[in-house]
């Protein structure tokens, strides 16, 4: 008997001591609502443990009779144990709802339910503690089952934070949930085995699990609800497509951008293999190890730059992969445009340099006037140098910026700047007249200047006296007319008129515009530049801006 009494007292003291330790550990975070709920749990456990010590008639003499002079029935400890479990479970439910970020309205409703159930339980115990009746036990059973149901919901919410949302390591919600389950079920276990001693045993274990969770994990530093909301807000607003897969490569989540890029709904693809979204098989594990992103083209001519990162917990264990898909379709098209321009320049340079080499050969020099040969070589190399400079100017403007919406541009200031630059390099004075309003185009001012330069330079170089420029604002169009002689240059040599305009024509074709050469009714040479705008962009062309005009 003495040994059994010592065991009872020791287990009760241990249960109270662990609960006091939990209380002390929570004091530093008492300003937080969720921490205050757990403080209430520790206080209820201490009070319930002391009451259990007084009324559990394990060995004579009856402790309650010896201390208070009150004589209780042998089943009174069941009333107190059940009441303690109800109150502890209710307070833990309040913690769980706040910890997982439930709405303020739901928290208020839950608080009201817990308060009503707890007050009702205390009232039942207070009225029937001297003479417990069957109806009292039945009412307490109802309250116990209700709180047990709420605790089950709380456990699910906590575990889902880790399993479903990966907001916290799995051990944190498991410890918090296990502590609550053990505390609430202690009364039931003690009654089933008819061993009141099992109640302080369960109380010690449950309080200990909560204490370990509070001491080992940052339970109150950054609530998981805030972590999940912040992370989800960032992911949801990302322009890039984000896919979350588990360790088996099955799709577990995707953001709205991914649904748009792959033209799928979230519900229809969850649980499918992540590789099913791509036209070619991908392995997230291999992607995560790769140093460079890979490019994948979808059926809709969309090009994605795909990277992957391993999702791990705080111990470095893998949960799966986060695959990020960036739409680089415009970038790929700009690269194609730049490649095409560079290839054009290389081809022209090769052909013209061959011609220069032939004219500079000893046989050609002896057969013709060497002065004329030298003049033609100088002219050709100058044209090549100018062509390269103009091409590089367009390439820089294209490379500097992505597609944008229409912007209002005044053409006259651009023409004036180009005219001054052309006049400084040429001793001829040609009048340039500009008529028309500002235009709406997706081409920036810097790119417009680069596109107009070779066309205007060619017109000023061959015009007799005047260059006329008209601007149409409906469909953004620029018409450049000059009064040059037909197909001859100043040296009287027939020339190919397409070469000075070839770079601008090629660039406009790639951007969604066009360049054409016509003759007016008066016989003047007319160059028409149709500039890209939003409608051409919607038709599938890539529209590019760049430079200072952005």
Q: Contact at 8 Å (CB) between 467 and 482?
A: yes
- CATH code that applies to domain 332-549: 3.30.565.10
The answer for residues whose C-beta is within 8 angstroms of residue 477's C-beta and 6 or more apart is 439, 471, 528, 529, 530, 531
Check whether 469 has a pLDDT greater than 70.
yes
Q: Which helix (H) or strand (E) holds 404?
A: none
**Bigger pLDDT: 524 vs 146:** 146
Q: What pLDDT, in 10s, does the model give residues 352-385? A: 666 656 655 654 555 556 666 666 666 666 666 6
Mean pLDDT of 268-286: 84
Mean pLDDT of 322-337: 75
Q: Contact at 8 Å (CB) between 521 and 534?
A: no
Check whether 405 has a pLDDT greater than 80.
no
Q: CATH second-level architecture of 238-327?
A: 2-Layer Sandwich (3.30)
**Bigger pLDDT: 384 vs 83:** 83
Check whether 1 has a pLDDT greater than 50.
no
Region of poorest pLDDT, from 256-270, 349-363, 488-502: 488-502
CA distance 76 to 56: 8
- CATH code that applies to domain 2-222: 1.20.1070
Q: What pLDDT, in 10s, does the model give residues 242-257? A: 888 887 888 888 888 8
Domain with CATH 1.20.1070 in the chain: 2-222
**What angle, 0 to 180 degrees and rounded to 10, lies between the N-to-C axes of helices 76-99 and 134-163?**
30
Q: Residue 348 has what pLDDT?
A: 61
Domain with CATH 3.30.450.20 in the chain: 238-327
pTM value is 0.48
CA distance 37 to 55: 27
CA distance 223 to 173: 12
CA distance 436 to 478: 9
Q: What pLDDT, in 10s, does the model give residues 532-542? A: 877 654 444 44
Region of poorest pLDDT, from 156-165, 293-302, 369-378: 369-378
Q: Residue 59 has what pLDDT?
A: 42
Domain with CATH 3.30.565.10 in the chain: 332-549
């Amino acid at each position: 008997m003495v040994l059994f009494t010592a065991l009872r007292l020791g287990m009760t003291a241990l249960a109270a001591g662990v609960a006091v330790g939990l209380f002390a550990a929570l004091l530093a975070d008492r300003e937080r609502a969720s921490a205050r709920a757990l403080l209430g749990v520790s206080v209820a456990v201490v009070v319930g443990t002391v009451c259990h010590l007084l009324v559990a008639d394990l060995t004579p003499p009856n402790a309650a009779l010896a201390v208070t002079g009150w004589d209780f029935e042998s089943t009174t400890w069941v009333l107190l144990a059940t009441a303690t479990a109800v109150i502890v479970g209710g307070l833990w439910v309040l913690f769980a709802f706040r910890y997982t970020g439930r709405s303020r309205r739901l928290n208020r409703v839950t608080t009201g339910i817990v308060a009503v159930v707890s007050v009702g339980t205390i009232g039942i115990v207070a009225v029937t503690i001297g003479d417990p009746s069957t109806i009292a036990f039945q009412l307490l059973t109802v309250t116990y089952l209700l709180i047990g149901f709420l605790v089950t919901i709380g456990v699910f919410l906590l575990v889902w934070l880790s399993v479903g949302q990966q907001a916290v390591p799995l051990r944190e919600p498991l410890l918090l949930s296990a502590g609550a389950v053990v505390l609430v079920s202690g009364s039931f276990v003690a009654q089933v085995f008819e061993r009141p001693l099992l109640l302080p045993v369960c109380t010690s274990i449950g309080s200990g699990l909560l204490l370990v969770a509070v001491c080992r994990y940052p339970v109150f530093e950054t609530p998981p609800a805030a972590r999940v909301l912040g992370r989800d807000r960032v992911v949801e607003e990302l322009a890039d497509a984000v896919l979350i897969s588990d360790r088996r490569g099955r799709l577990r989540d995707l953001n709205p951008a991914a649904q748009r890029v792959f033209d799928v709904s979230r519900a229809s693809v969850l649980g499918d293999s992540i590789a099913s979204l791509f036209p070619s098989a991908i392995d997230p594990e291999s992607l995560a190890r790769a140093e460079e992103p890979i490019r994948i083209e979808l059926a809709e001519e969309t090009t994605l730059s795909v990277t992957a990162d391993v999702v791990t917990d705080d111990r470095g264990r893998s949960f799966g992969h986060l695959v990020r898909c960036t739409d680089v379709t415009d970038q790929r098209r700009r690269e194609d445009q730049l490649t095409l321009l560079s290839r054009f320049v290389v081809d022209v340079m090769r052909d013209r340099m061959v011609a220069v080499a032939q004219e500079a050969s000893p046989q050609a020099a002896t057969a013709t006037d060497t002065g004329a040969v030298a003049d033609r070589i100088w002219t050709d190399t100058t044209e090549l140098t100018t062509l390269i400079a103009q091409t590089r100017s367009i390439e820089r403007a294209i490379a500097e910026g992505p597609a944008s919406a229409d912007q209002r541009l005044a053409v006259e200031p651009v023409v004036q700047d180009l005219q001054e630059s052309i006049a400084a390099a040429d001793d001829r004075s040609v009048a340039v007249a500009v008529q028309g309003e500002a235009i709406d185009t997706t081409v920036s001012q810097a790119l417009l200047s680069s596109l107009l330069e070779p066309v205007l330079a060619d017109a000023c170089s061959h015009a007799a006296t005047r260059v006329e420029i008209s601007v149409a604002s409906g469909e953004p169009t620029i018409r450049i007319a000059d009064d040059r002689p037909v197909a001859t240059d100043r040296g009287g040599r027939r020339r190919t008129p397409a070469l000075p305009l070839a770079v601008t024509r090629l660039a406009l074709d790639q951007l969604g515009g066009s360049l054409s050469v016509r003759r007016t009714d008066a016989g003047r040479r007319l160059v028409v530049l149709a500039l890209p705008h939003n409608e051409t962009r919607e038709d599938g062309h890539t529209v590019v801006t760049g430079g200072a005009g952005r």
